[in-house]
Structure 1
Amino acid sequence: MTHTIRRLLTGTALAAILAGPALADETIDITIVNGHPPIFLWVKHLTETFIPTVNAALEGSGYTINWTEAYGGTLAGVGGELDAVEDGLAEIGAIPTVFLPTKVPLQNVTYNTPFGPGEPQVVMEAMDALYAQIPGMAESWHQYDAEYLGGGFALDNYILMTNFPVTSIDDLAGHRIAAPGPAVNWLEGTGAVGVAGNLTTYYNDIQTGVFDGVIVFATAAAPARLHEVAPYVTVTGFGAQSAGALVANQTWLQDQPEAVQEALRAGAAAYQQAYIAEQTQRVAAAMATIAPDEAHLHTLSDAERARWAAALPDVAGTWAAAADGEGLPGTEVLNAYVQILRDAGVPLVRDWSQR
């Protein structure tokens, strides 16, 4: 019996040696970057949706990811995320395209066509259609060694928050109003002084008198507590805006196994869907927080919205021409976007495709 057991053990050991060691999953290090802190939904869903979806998609594939999450300026500030991806400091970035109007102008089409649809879902579906119809949309990332992963985030219907009441554009004269990137153009012709800014400084800048109000959206205004310093909310109907996209370093991505590339794209798609779903649920509560009573809330009439839109210069045409001049399909993107909105039955306060 002892000799039999010894022979069996010896045989088992020999088989194990011949078979070699058990293969472990290959671990891939990925740093993901965004300059905003996790209190904002587009960062929150990197942790809650994008990363878990990628991990789940890779189960059984032989690959696992070691994630490093770099948010809130720990690796790059707001607007510096694309540089971090291009330089290889991060493999993936949630890029706030709104702060890169000159680097990725095509991705800012919605900000150059204000008073559009108020629903983020409609805006993101339009952006998905643009990426599908116009190759130049995705190709425009390549000059920064970046590859569009297919996910993005739109911001809910932009509003005006001020430390003084606003019931018409006439009330804006002489006031300094901050806005993100190209949204500063929405103040031209109103008498207001537009100032470029972003959510990380709005509260302090209003509190210290740097400016008197901001163009912002409810689901970010509430967690940023902007109503404490800008208690007057004016529903202007500027529209929801496509504000960012998930991209990967292109050189790095091309070196990754197909299973990893597919998992990242699956994560991007899930991210966009989950982000918009939670955002939609949050809008009403956010509005109730920042405008708790009628004394602090005013909705512009349709006539006043039309007046505001008509007062603006041809921001869309100027933007499209500038993109065309850089060899990008600016006019093509503009015309396609407006047509997509028309086909979706979106009422246009101003037809930006008309010169």
Structure 2
Amino acid sequence: MKHISHMIAATLAGTMLAGTAYAQETITINIGSSHPVQNIWAYAMKNSFQPEVDRLLEEAGGNYKVEWVESYGGTLYRFTDTRAAVSDGIVDIGMVGTVWEGSAMPLQNVTYFTPFATSDHEMLIEIFDKLTAELPELRDSWEGENMVHLSSLITDSYDVYANFEINALSDMANRRINAPGTSANWLQQTGATPVDGALTTYYTDIQTGVSEGALSFASGILPTRVYEVAPNLTRVGIGAMYFGGIAANKDFFDSQPEEVQNAILEAGKATSLAHGAYVTEQANTAIEKMEAEGLVISELPEEEKRKWVESLPNVVGPWLEANGEAAQTVLKAYFAELRERGVTPLRDWDEGL
């Protein structure tokens, strides 16, 4: 009898130990964006970041499991509120479009003030992940907004989609082109008139004559079907742009166990790579599909492209003046990284710094 009671006690102890070994804490993470998951930026969060966090936590021993509460497609906030949504903790992790945050986060917009630098969006991700980690000017501007930068988001190269042919820079004269925000600078001295708008308005704008084309990128033009009303794509190589990042609310991040923090940070790095590859795939597929449906693609002659670049005023000047030494540091570091990778920007926007 005594032997049996010892066996029972041993079995119970083993069961309790096993229960302790496999105890798993559930962490709830609210994740969201102003854009639907079909969008190249939100896609990176849903299809790369989330599964990678899950995988890393499982690989680390399964001590923590994430319960994801998803709010994609603008269900909680609009594109104008992405910074505030993450900063204020409306979501724990979200897409932050620094392109819309020229006042609060101006340094992140350096690519929009230095057009014709590079069309290699995968390289751009690599550069900005590196610069955000190494430059206090960039890193601190995220932390100053109560956010932790996790992964860089970009666009593929901007070109001109229009309902007319462009064989020379002079063909742009007296044309109305959708070029919202900072991108309006890229049309200075071309003779074209910039018209405000967004990917969601370009189709109607061109169809109704408000504009005659748009400065945009292939992965954005295909899903909005803008090529139906702007069937001429002229490749001009304005370049890929750093759009913003995936970020965590700093209060939320700091409250997490180290194992969860590490998984979030590592998933961010993996998402950068996956996002770059996905955008490449989407941009190439978009061109193929649009061309099959009638898009006519041409290349602006090199001498005409040179005219465009050289005719631009010093569009980076006001940005540098407004943001002081920090902006100079970011610009010099960005162009140094480009040149280190063998890129020769069509204009030396950092000249004289």
| Cα contact 2:129–2:152 (8 A) shared by 1 | no
Of 181-190 and 288-297, the range deviating more from structure 2: 288-297
In the alignment, which residue of structure 1 is the partner of 2:154?
154
Q: Name stretches of at least 5 consecutive residues in structure 2 with no aligned partner.
A: none
In the alignment, which residue of structure 2 is the partner of 1:87?
88
| Cα contact 1:31–1:70 (8 A) shared by 2 | yes
Superposition deviation, residue 159 in structure 1: 0.9
| Cα contact 1:227–1:291 (8 A) shared by 2 | no
Kindly provide the amino acid, as one letter, of the partner of residue 24 in structure 1: A
In the alignment, which residue of structure 1 is the partner of 2:171?
171
Kindly provide the amino acid, as one letter, of the partner of residue 210 in structure 1: V
SS of equivalent to 1:200: helix
Kindly provide the amino acid, as one letter, of the partner of residue 340 in structure 1: E
In the alignment, which residue of structure 1 is the partner of 2:337?
340
Separation of aligned partners in 2, 1:232 and 1:269: 37
In the alignment, which residue of structure 2 is the partner of 1:349?
346
Separation of aligned partners in 2, 1:57 and 1:92: 17
| Cα contact 1:226–1:290 (8 A) shared by 2 | no
| Cα contact 1:317–1:353 (8 A) shared by 2 | no
Of 22-31 and 255-264, the range deviating more from structure 2: 22-31
SS of equivalent to 1:118: coil
Superposition deviation, residue 157 in structure 1: 1.4
Kindly provide the amino acid, as one letter, of the partner of residue 144 in structure 1: E
SS of equivalent to 2:220: helix
Of 111-120 and 186-195, the range deviating more from structure 2: 186-195
SS of equivalent to 2:322: helix
Pairing 1:1-355 to 2, within 5 Å after superposition:
7=5, 11=9, 15=13, 22=20, 24-59=23-58, 60-149=61-150, 151-292=151-292, 296-324=296-324, 329-354=326-351
Kindly provide the amino acid, as one letter, of the partner of residue 130 in structure 1: L
| Cα contact 2:231–2:294 (8 A) shared by 1 | no
| Cα contact 2:106–2:323 (8 A) shared by 1 | yes
* Number of residue equivalences: 349
Superposition deviation, residue 11 in structure 1: 3.0
List per-residue Cα deviations over 1:12-44 (Å, max 9, x = no partner): 687489879747322221111221222222211
List per-residue Cα deviations over 1:151-195 (Å, max 9, x = no partner): 112211111111222223322233322234321211122222223
Instruction: Indicate how the Cα distance of structure 1 residues 7 and 340 shifts in structure 2: closer, same or farther if over 3 A, else same.
Output: closer
Superposition deviation, residue 99 in structure 1: 2.1
Kindly provide the amino acid, as one letter, of the partner of residue 333 in structure 2: A
Superposition deviation, residue 147 in structure 1: 1.4
Separation of aligned partners in 2, 1:130 and 1:158: 23
Separation of aligned partners in 2, 1:131 and 1:223: 31
Instruction: Indicate how the Cα distance of structure 1 residues 76 and 8 shifts in structure 2: closer, same or farther if over 3 A, else same.
Output: same
Kindly provide the amino acid, as one letter, of the partner of residue 312 in structure 1: L
Separation of aligned partners in 2, 1:211 and 1:16: 74
SS of equivalent to 1:106: helix
Instruction: Indicate how the Cα distance of structure 1 residues 280 and 20 shifts in structure 2: closer, same or farther if over 3 A, else same.
Output: closer
SS of equivalent to 1:140: helix
SS of equivalent to 1:29: strand
SS of equivalent to 1:116: coil
Q: What percentage of aligned pairs have identical amino acids? A: 37
Separation of aligned partners in 1, 2:16 and 2:119: 65
Separation of aligned partners in 2, 1:332 and 1:244: 19
Superposition deviation, residue 317 in structure 1: 2.1
Kindly provide the amino acid, as one letter, of the partner of residue 86 in structure 2: V
Separation of aligned partners in 2, 1:240 and 1:35: 21
Separation of aligned partners in 2, 1:55 and 1:43: 17
Superposition deviation, residue 273 in structure 1: 0.6
**What's the TM-score once normalised by structure 1's chain length?**
0.90
Root mean square deviation of aligned Cα: 2.5
Kindly provide the amino acid, as one letter, of the partner of residue 197 in structure 2: G
List per-residue Cα deviations over 1:262-290 (Å, max 9, x = no partner): 11111111111111112223333322233
Kindly provide the amino acid, as one letter, of the partner of residue 40 in structure 1: N
Q: Name stretches of at least 5 consecutive residues in structure 1 with no aligned partner.
A: none
Deviant stretches of 4+, over 6 Å = 16-21
List per-residue Cα deviations over 1:304-346 (Å, max 9, x = no partner): 111111221211122122111xxx6001111221222222221
Separation of aligned partners in 2, 1:348 and 1:222: 28
| Cα contact 2:231–2:295 (8 A) shared by 1 | no
Of 75-84 and 111-120, the range deviating more from structure 2: 75-84
SS of equivalent to 2:189: coil
Separation of aligned partners in 1, 2:11 and 2:342: 71
**What's the TM-score once normalised by structure 2's chain length?**
0.90
Of 255-264 and 22-31, the range deviating more from structure 2: 22-31
